[in-house]
Amino acid sequence: MPADRRETILILGGTAEAAAIARRLVAAGADVVTSLAGRTSNPAPLPGRIRIGGFGGAEGLARYIAENGITRVIDATHPFANRISQNARLACAAAGIPLERPERPAWEKQPGDDWIEVESLDEAAAALPAGARVFLALGRQHLAVFESRPDCHFVVRMVDPPEKPLGFAGYDLILGKPSVNPEEEADLFRAHRVTHLVCRNSGGEAGYGKILAARSMGLPVVMVRRAT
Q: Which residues bind ligand NAP (CB under 6 A)?
A: 12-15, 35-37, 39, 54-57, 60-61, 77-78, 80-84, 87, 139
- Shorter beta-carbon distance to ligand NAP: residue 14 or 220: 14
d(CA 32, CA 44): 16
Q: Under a CB-based contact definition with an 8 Å cutoff, are residues 184 and 123 in contact?
A: no
Supply the minimum distance, in Å, between the C-beta of residue 106 and ligand NAP. 14
Cα 129 → chain centroid:
26
Phi-psi group of 87: left, alpha or beta (phi > 0 → left; psi -120 to 50 → alpha; rest → beta): alpha
User: CB 12 → ligand NAP: shortest distance, Å?
Assistant: 4
Q: How far is the CB of 184 from ligand NAP (least distance, A)?
A: 17
Q: Are 219 and 193 in contact (CB under 8 A)?
A: no
Q: Which residue is nearest to ligand NAP (CB)?
A: 54
Q: With b meaning 16 or more CB within 10 Å and e meaning fewer, what string describes 193-224?
A: ebbbbbbbbbbeeebbbbbbbbbebebbbbbb
Kindly tell me which of 68 and 82 has the beta carbon lying closer to ligand NAP: 82
The least distance separating ligand NAP from the CB of residue 88, rounded to whole angstroms, comes to 9
Judged by beta carbon, residue 55 or residue 135, the one nearer ligand NAP is 55
Q: How far is the CB of 3 from ligand NAP (least distance, A)?
A: 30
Nearer to ligand NAP, 120 or 151 (CB): 120
CB of residue 131 to ligand NAP, shortest distance in Å: 29
